Amino acid sequence: MIVQEDFSKESLGDFPSNWNTRSGAELVTINTREGKWLRLAQTGVFYPEYITDNLPENFTLQIDLLANQQVAAIGQWMVSLLQTKDTDEKFRLGEGLHASGVANFQLNFQPGSSRGQMYYSTNLIGSQSKSGIPEFHTPEKPSVKISIWRQKQRIRVYLDSTKVLDLPRALDANATLNSLVFSSSNPEYDSKEGAFFMSNIRLAVGAPNLRSKLMNEGKFSTNGILFDVNSDQIKPQSYGSLQDIAQLLKENTAVKVKIIGHTDADGDDHANLELSKRRALAVVQALTTTFGIDASRLQSDGKGKSEPVDNNDTSAGKANNRRVEFIKL
Q: Which amino acid is at 13?
A: G
Structure confidence by residue, pLDDT tens digits, 280-309: 999 999 999 999 999 999 999 999 999 999
Question: pTM for the full model?
Answer: 0.74
DSSP state of 207: P
Strand ranges inside 83-138, DSSP E:
104-110, 117-122, 126-131
Cβ atoms of 170 and 105 closer than 8 Å = yes
pLDDT at residue 185, rounded to an integer: 84
How high is the pLDDT of residue 190?
A: 47
Q: Taking CA 84 as the corner, what is the angle to CA 78 and CA 89, rounded to the nearest 5 degrees?
A: 75
Would you say domain 3-205 falls under CATH 2.60.120.200?
yes
Q: What spatial distance separates the first Cα and last Cα of the chain, rounded to whole Å?
A: 27
Q: Domains of the chain: which residue ranges? A: 3-205, 210-328
pLDDT (0 to 100) of residue 209: 64
Low-confidence stretches of the chain (pLDDT < 70) are 96-100, 187-192, 207-209
**Secondary structure (H, E, C), 7-73:** CCCCCCCCCCCCEEECCCCEEEECCCCCCEEEEECCCEEEEECCCCCCCCCEEEEEEEEEECCCCCC
Domain 210-328 in CATH: superfamily? OmpA-like domain (3.30.1330.60)
- Identify the sign of the CA torsion 165, 167, 173, 176: negative
